[in-house]
């Protein structure tokens, strides 16, 4: 759930009170009435002419007292689609770099897998020869880490990053930096990097706990389906793409304001799993007795976010939710074939670059396909 954060600026108006500076016209009214009674006749009070009022105004200005001023009107941030050109270029470039880096990472992982296997066998053999230490904290941590699935180990780094950013929000000295770089706002001066960094940013503990629980629950399914390299590329790209969709909708509707949270990227993960396995059974953590299919859950979430976007609900960033969900559906149906399965030319280029050197054969580049 991607929470919205906005600031309502209050304007304080002040005015110079001339009555507190200048003598009141009736300040000596009691003295005048007493004098009139003693003399036996009534003296007509003097009228203040407009010229004297103008002179009083000039006197106020000479004494340095500011005249009454009207409260300033708040300036609304300008909304222009031209400002979205740079975020669009950043979204396309970052997505391409993410999947390219993931392809190279997978190549390096496959290349070192054999050596890692022998290293693990040697480590297990040495552990059997060494005397067992009871209560060793490091060993307990290693046992816990090895008991996790590959998907859970993959998202552990993401969860740790979110927890670190959450702690940074509690440091008053970093508040200005956090607002500038870790909240996405189309009216901000900084537009590009917050599209990525806000994906790891949560201000509310409940918000972060809910998002990380969903990510942890779907981690095994999504990593088994895609592999950790492709999953991380899709997750990071989903955060940027969902934020760009939020930028477009905020600019179109004029509802500018900051957003933060990993909901857009997590919606991509949820939508990808539900699209790939629509008959899988899901349940709510607080109501485990009620189950429903993944396909129905995805339809319900998309319908709610669509209604929230149309009706202008401000509690969640429904545009980012929809952008993440649509990207997840598209990637499972078309993106995997279009992007990931066409990575072979890039991998061959990287393979030739890695194997090029003195003593390497000219035909060694033919083994670059994965």
**Enzyme catalytic residues:** 263, 321
Locus of tokens 């969903």? 214
Is there a contact between 369 and 344 (Cβ–Cβ < 8 Å)? yes
* 367 contacts: CB under 8 Å, gap ≥ 6: 351
Distance CA 223, CA 161 (A): 19
Q: How far apart are CA 338 and CA 55, in angstroms?
A: 81
CA distances from 343 to 52, 229, 240 (A): 86, 13, 21
Say how many C-beta atoms besides its own lie within 10 A of residue 334's C-beta: 10
Task: Determine whether 208 is exposed, middle or buried from the number of CB atoms within 10 Å of its CB (0-12, 13-18, 19+).
Answer: buried
Instruction: Residue 194: name the closest of 266, 261, 98, 102 by CA.
Output: 261
């Amino acid at each position: 759930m991607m929470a919205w954060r906005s600031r309502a600026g209050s304007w304080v108006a002040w005015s110079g009170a001339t009555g507190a500076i200048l003598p009141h016209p009736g300040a000596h009214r009691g003295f005048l009435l007493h004098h009139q009674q003693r003399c036996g006749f009534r003296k007509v009070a003097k009228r203040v002419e407009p010229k004297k009022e103008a002179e009083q105004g000039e006197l106020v200005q000479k004494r340095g007292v500011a005249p009454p001023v009207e409260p300033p009107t708040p300036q609304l941030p300008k909304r222009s689609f031209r400002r979205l050109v740079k975020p669009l270029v950043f979204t396309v470039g970052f997505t391409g770099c993410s999947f390219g880096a993931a392809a190279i990472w997978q190549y390096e992982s496959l290349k070192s897998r054999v050596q890692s296997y022998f290293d693990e066998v040697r480590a297990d053999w040495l552990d059997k020869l060494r005397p067992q230490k009871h209560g060793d904290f490091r060993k307990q941590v290693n046992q816990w880490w090895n008991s996790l699935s590959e998907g859970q180990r993959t998202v552990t780094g993401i969860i740790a990053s979110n927890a670190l950013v959450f702690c940074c929000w509690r440091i008053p000295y970093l508040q200005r930096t956090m607002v500038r770089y870790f909240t996405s706002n189309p009216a901000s001066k900084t537009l590009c990097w917050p599209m990525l960094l806000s994906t790891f940013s949560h201000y509310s503990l409940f918000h972060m706990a809910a998002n990380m629980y969903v990510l942890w629950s779907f981690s095994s399914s999504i990593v088994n389906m895609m592999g950790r390299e492709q999953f991380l590329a899709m997750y990071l790209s989903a955060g940027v793409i969902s934020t760009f969709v939020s930028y477009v909708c905020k600019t179109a509707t004029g509802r500018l304001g900051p957003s933060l949270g990993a909901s857009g990227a997590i919606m991509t993960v949820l939508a990808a799993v539900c699209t790939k396995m629509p008959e899988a059974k899901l349940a709510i953590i607080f109501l485990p007795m009620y189950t429903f299919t993944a396909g129905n859950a995805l339809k319900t979430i998309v319908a709610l976010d669509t209604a929230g976007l149309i009706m202008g609900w401000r509690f969640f960033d429904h545009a980012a939710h929809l952008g993440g969900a649509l990207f997840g559906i598209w990637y499972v149906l078309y993106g995997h074939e279009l992007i990931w399965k066409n990575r072979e030319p890039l991998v061959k280029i990287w393979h030739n670059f890695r194997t090029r050197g003195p003593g390497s054969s000219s035909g060694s580049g033919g083994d670059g396909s994965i």
